[in-house]
């Protein structure tokens, strides 16, 4: 994925260009090197270990698509301190759940395993470049680095998985999107928000 394309995706999500570079570093495992400002997170992980983690995601993608037939060609693992803490594979077809992507399963499992809704110092490895939903979930989870194998373009060419319409929709003003957004009863909803704002023991995330 080119830097220009990443910048466009971030703009679609309402993030500044600087956010991706500082928060989540996207890197194809076949690419060159690790930027200096992200080296501290991967100093203890060798290139072979990175590749082993990716190979595990590829094996999970094979299981999902060809062996168990639970969904598309997608697998993911989350690693902390050089060890896999969770795994996930696509189960959209088997579960009748459009959100059951490999990355989502891995994030949910890691959060349960680590008993935290923030996956600090965790790395996401995935067999294919995350879709907009999984990328957004990575931000919510506090994941700082993602390694992937196949690109969005590969997923489209070989599997007809096309994220482009979603990117295009997110780039449009709300009023022009195919899913109509209609606001109702804002004043009543804000009453609860104000109570939440005043709640002394609320947990921030």
Q: Measured at the alpha carbon of residue 24, what is the angle toward residues 23 and 27, in degrees to the nearest 5?
A: 145
167 is written with which tokens?
């990117």
Picking from 36, 64, 35, 30, the residue whose alpha carbon sits closest to that of residue 50 is: 30
Catalytic pick among 51, 67, 87, 103: 103
CB 144 within 8 A of CB 41: yes
Taking the C-alpha atoms of residue 203 and residue 205, their distance in angstroms, rounded to an integer, is 7
* Sheet bearing 83-89, strands edge to edge: 25-28, 145-150, 122-128, 75-80, 83-89
- Active-site residue flag, 103: yes
155 is written with which tokens?
């997923």
CB 102 within 8 A of CB 76: yes
Q: Which residues does the annotation mark as catalytic?
A: 103
């Amino acid at each position: 994925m080119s830097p220009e394309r990443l910048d466009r995706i971030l703009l679609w999500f309402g993030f500044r260009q600087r956010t991706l570079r500082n928060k989540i570093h996207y890197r194809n495992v076949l690419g060159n090197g690790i930027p200096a400002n992200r080296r501290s997170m991967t100093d203890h992980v060798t290139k072979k270990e990175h590749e082993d983690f990716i190979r595990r995601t590829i094996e999970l993608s094979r299981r999902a698509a060809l062996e168990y037939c639970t969904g598309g060609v997608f697998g993911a693992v989350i690693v902390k301190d050089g060890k896999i803490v969770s795994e996930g594979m696509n189960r959209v077809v088997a579960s009748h759940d459009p959100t059951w992507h490999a990355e989502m399963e891995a994030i949910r499992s890691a959060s349960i395993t680590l008993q935290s809704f923030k996956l600090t110092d965790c790395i996401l490895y995935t067999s294919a470049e995350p879709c907009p939903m999984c990328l957004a979930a990575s931000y919510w989870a506090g994941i700082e680095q993602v390694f992937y194998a196949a690109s969005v373009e590969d997923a489209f060419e070989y599997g007809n998985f096309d994220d482009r319409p979603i990117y295009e929709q997110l780039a449009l003003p709300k009023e022009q999107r195919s899913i109509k957004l209609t606001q109702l009863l804002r004043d009543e909803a804000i009453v609860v928000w104000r109570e939440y704002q005043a709640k002394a023991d609320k947990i921030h995330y």
